[in-house]
Amino acid sequence: MPKGTTNRKKRTKVLANEAELASVRGQQLFTSEYRDKAFGSSERTVNELLDYFAITTEGTKKILPKEKRRYVIYLRKSTDDETKQVRSLDDQRVECLKKAASLGISIREEDILVESASAKTSGNRPIFDTMLQSFRIGKYQGLISWSPDRISRNMKDAGEVIEMIDHEEIQDLVFVTYQFENSANGKMMLGILFATSKQYSDKLAVDVKRGTVGNIVEGKYNGVLKKGYYVDDATGFFTPDEYNWNILRRAVDMRLYEGMSNTDIADFLNESKLTERKNQDEQPKLVKVTKQMVGNIFEDSFYCGLYKYGENLANLVDLYNFKPLITADEYIQLNADVAKDFGRTTSVKTNRSQRLDYGLLHNKVICEYCDGIMVFQHTVLKRGKNTGKWVISFYCRNKACLRHNATEQKKLGIKLSKSIRAKYVLAGIEWQLRHLTKKSEQAYRMYINSLEASIAADRAILTRKLAEAKQSLKNNEQQYARYQEFQVNSPDDYKKYHEGKLEQYQQLIHLDEEAIASNKADIAKLDISLPSEQEFYELTRSKVLDMLQTTDIMVLDTICNEFVTNLHAGNNSTSVIKLKPPYDSMVELGNVSTGRGERTQTFDLPVPNRARYQLRHTP
């Protein structure tokens, strides 16, 4: 045997004995008294977990459904030769908007970018370069243009765009004159269209990656089975495998609500004959459940609808009528490390070191002395009555910053801390938000437009899912009727070749009916009256009160992120706090510039309710 290798025993899968399996299943009646209640009262959503993992896992990208993607239209007219223009800018605009409308894509006026520059050479189009940067930071996910030659005719820009498609920074690319297919061959053809002299091909490893990432984008099976689900052959989507799904749900109840150990749960799943299969026609195989396997299932965010593969994250609940095993709240409760980041206490233990990864105001706290991003950190208290609790702060890592130069500080007659406590930052934000007293019809209209856009996206997703569920119900009812007729006319052949098909389609019909009822109920929830202008002002004030009353780090972060674009942190004070639209037009204070030349105009904010922001977190 070569040095450094081990003789690993290949895991053999044992086919389940059908008679034994039927006997065990016949004795079990699994209903969850907790699941419906949990789904009806979950405070957290899958999208909040999506944001959480996207922030705490470096390089991670959120894969959004079409309805939630923000699209930009890029129009370009070359200045090389006005007589050779195939389409004028106005024509391109009309046709691109028409294409967007046909695909059900809404475009904001500010997201129509127009440039007059040649694409023969790179570095000649500042608007194009800014647009690509907007894709990198997640402002845009979809790009619409009249034809590929409007995007690029040079190899550098072509390669850059194709690489961004590869990395899912550009999640959708639409042309009026050409249908782009996001595959290795599609990108090769796009490269040829971008520049006819360019030859583009993907290596085998990239081909494989593209396939799996493509499946993640659509929420489909990517080669990894998920216990309790099988893969529908027709769609590639994950479908609950009724019996196995039910006993796994029972396992969740045992862990969360009955305090049973993973060892006890593994014994239960083995006694209950947990099986797995890739698709509906494959004979199930017995699963030998271990304590570690139970822990891995509970740690897998797939079971609440958050699908992770490599650097990509997708919300299956938005992509199709996926039926989660657990709620977002239950996932948080099942995972001690995540629970701590969300400010939750849990009886679930962890062997990992205590940590707080999520933090507050991610990448939004800027050092007043060097303009660098300050990083969230926590320090454990080792003495006093609060021993063992965390103190939260923001730390400047730039060693060239004045904060780290004691000699220069001494010359200036000042003493600076290398960090600023979160209590001062939050007090500054609170003080600023208390001054959102200026009534602004423009701010109200911007808020309503944003709310309407969000509701429209949610409605579009639910409408699509409802239509899909109705079509699926129709198809499954037809299949059920066919097998029912076949069973009556040819009972022996049915038993020999198709036994179990009626039960299978009964289950699918039940899932479709569940999905239809759920989507209709969720659509009805969107039929709410929008707040009046006065209610908008009251709502803004109530959020400030929420900020004062909560000790939940996640709630604080949500409130802060809604209002604040970024802020400059000085020495135990905040100077400039830049508010997001529409709130920036509601503040009574005058605008304070963040330019270095005007730093003398900065001021220390008072720190009201300072004691309230003694932010600590109990591990």
Last residue of a domain, one of 525, 559, 583: 525
Instruction: Identify whether the C-beta of residue 365 lies closer than 8 Å to the C-beta of residue 395.
Output: no
Indicate if 151 and 235 belong to the same structural domain: no
User: Can you state the angle between helices 533-549 and 422-433, rounded to 10 degrees?
Assistant: 160
Instruction: Identify whether the C-beta of residue 568 lies closer than 8 Å to the C-beta of residue 594.
Output: yes
Indicate if 213 and 317 belong to the same structural domain: no
Strands 61-63 and 312-315 come out as parallel
d(CA 313, CA 165): 16
Residue-wise pLDDT for 292-327, tens only, equals 999 999 999 999 999 987 778 899 999 999 999 999
Instruction: Identify whether the C-beta of residue 68 lies closer than 8 Å to the C-beta of residue 457.
Output: yes
Which range (215-219, 325-329, 391-395, 456-460) has the least confidence? Answer: 215-219
In a domain, 348, yes or no: no
Instruction: Identify whether the C-beta of residue 72 lies closer than 8 Å to the C-beta of residue 111.
Output: yes
Indicate if 386 and 300 belong to the same structural domain: no
Q: How confident is the model at residue 71 (pLDDT cuts 50, 70, 90)?
A: very high
Give the number of domains in the chain: 4
Q: How confident is the model at residue 215 (pLDDT cuts 50, 70, 90)?
A: low
In a domain, 47, yes or no: yes
- Output the domain CATH number for residue 283: 3.90.1750.20
Q: Is 442 exposed, middle or buried (0-12, 13-18, 19+ CB in 10 A)?
A: exposed
Q: Mean pLDDT: which of 140-149, 305-314, 581-590 is highest?
A: 140-149
pTM to 2 decimal places = 0.72
Indicate if 521 and 531 belong to the same structural domain: no
Indicate if 118 and 202 belong to the same structural domain: yes
Indicate if 120 and 145 belong to the same structural domain: yes
Indicate if 85 and 200 belong to the same structural domain: yes
User: What six digits make up the tokens of 127?
Assistant: 């608007």
d(CA 492, CA 537): 72
In a domain, 1, yes or no: no
Radius of gyration of the chain (CA): 28
Give ∠ CA 290-291-296 in degrees, rounded to 5: 95
CA 502, 503, 508, 509 torsion: positive or negative? positive
Any bridge partners for residue 238, and if so which? 231
Indicate if 191 and 166 belong to the same structural domain: yes
- Output the domain CATH number for residue 115: 3.40.50.1390
Last residue of a domain, one of 179, 201, 217: 217
User: What six digits make up the tokens of 291?
Assistant: 């304590």
Residue-wise pLDDT for 444-471, tens only, equals 998 898 888 889 999 999 999 999 999 9
Q: Mean pLDDT: which of 50-54, 85-89, 199-203, 338-342 is highest?
A: 50-54
Range of the domain at 480: 457-525
Backbone angles phi, psi at 157, to 5 degrees: -65, -40
Q: Cis peptide before 148, with omega less than 30 degrees from 0?
A: no
User: What six digits make up the tokens of 365?
Assistant: 């706290």
Indicate if 324 and 421 belong to the same structural domain: no
In a domain, 77, yes or no: yes
In a domain, 499, yes or no: yes
d(CA 618, CA 344): 9
In a domain, 482, yes or no: yes
In a domain, 252, yes or no: yes
d(CA 275, CA 291): 16
Give ∠ CA 417-592-414 in degrees, rounded to 5: 25
Alpha carbon separation from 18 to 240, 431, 503 (Å, rounded): 19, 68, 15
